[in-house]
Amino acid sequence: MKHAVAVALAALALVALALGAWIGVNIRGDDNPWLARAQAVADESGWQEGRIDADAFQLTAFRRFDGEEGGLLVVYIEGDGHAWESLTELSSDPTPRDPRVLQMAVQDPAASVAYLARPCQYLPDNEQPYCGSMMWSLSRYASYIVAALDTAVDSLKREAGASRIRLVGVSGGGTLAALIAARRDDVVGLVTVAANLDHDLWSRRHNLSPLIDSLNAADVAVLVEDIPQVHFVGAEDTNVTRAEVDAYVARMADPALVDVVVVPGYNHTCCWVENWPGLLGDHPVGQQSKGVNPLQPIRAPCG
């Protein structure tokens, strides 16, 4: 009998782990300058830091939950981070060197907002035994990466007491946001910035090896076409262009709920942080017109 109870309790513990759990942390990033930068952004805005057990990974997260029970939760998903040391050498640590996505998240006017780092970002090697460079290269959008982030979104939703989710993804985080949205029935908005929404096309355009172990957002475009979407593209972005976004939209049967906004003067990194509140205000998700918007001048360019 005792053995049966122990087995049952162990099974329940595994289920709890699989569903994800928020773990508050107060460890300062004194030995990790990249974590310290993110913590400084969070501290200045009064955000909490935590970690979420998500399948095989622990994910670093930051949050501000001020919304009402049953309300909206906005979740920002980090990009690919510092994936490469050079054009030919993969990084040993994909942690973002500049917390741009977190800086965008803390400016979001929604009452409840959270930020999710990607697997293997911000954590020391001894706390991420399953990490390897494939996870920020060929497998960066693999099914198990999507599943871990989806589990983390579940955890944040429970903690916030939310009923609806808006996903915001920057660069590769936009790819993952679309893939996560395709798995869920509670996503009421999808926003991407400089997102690689068709990595097959992107790989061919850059003459790179295909991301053979990764899921492609374009393949799920038809599954998310009923979700209001805004996709921001920098007109000067040579890394991810409008072509990748257009290829994604072309896979939809009816893109009436999708806006593509091309911003003159912006590239892959500039100037999204500086002008993020204005961009969100000018293009609120859920108020799309029919069809895909033409090029629209917005805000001041970089420099």
Which residues fall within 8 angstroms of residue 147, CB to CB, at 6 or more apart?
A: 55
Report CA 287 to chain centroid distance, whole Å: 22
What's the rounded mean pLDDT across residues 66-94? Answer: 82
What's the rounded mean pLDDT across residues 217-242? Answer: 97
The answer to whether residue 13 scores a pLDDT higher than 50 is no
pLDDT, position 96? 87
Beta bridge partners of 150: none
pLDDT, position 27? 59
Question: Which 8-state DSSP code applies to residue 97?
Answer: S
- Per domain, the residue ranges of the chain are 22-282
Residues 188 and 209 sit within 8 Å (Cβ to Cβ): no
What's the rounded mean pLDDT across residues 13-35? Answer: 63
Find which of 19-23, 117-121, 219-223 is predicted with most confidence, using mean pLDDT.
219-223
The SS3 assignment for 249 reads: helix
Which residues fall within 8 angstroms of residue 126, CB to CB, at 6 or more apart?
A: none
Give the Cα separation of 172 and 158 in Å (integer): 25
Residue 132 backbone zone (phi > 0: left; psi -120 to 50: alpha; other: beta): beta
The answer to whether residue 191 scores a pLDDT higher than 60 is yes
The answer to whether residue 185 scores a pLDDT higher than 60 is yes
Give the Cα separation of 33 and 141 in Å (integer): 26
**Band (183; pLDDT cuts 50, 70, 90):** very high
What's the rounded mean pLDDT across residues 144-150? Answer: 94
Which CATH superfamily groups domain 22-282? Alpha/Beta hydrolase fold, catalytic domain (3.40.50.1820)
Please give the sequence-ordered ranges of beta strands (E in DSSP) within 97-242, or none if there are none.
112-116, 164-170, 187-193, 229-234
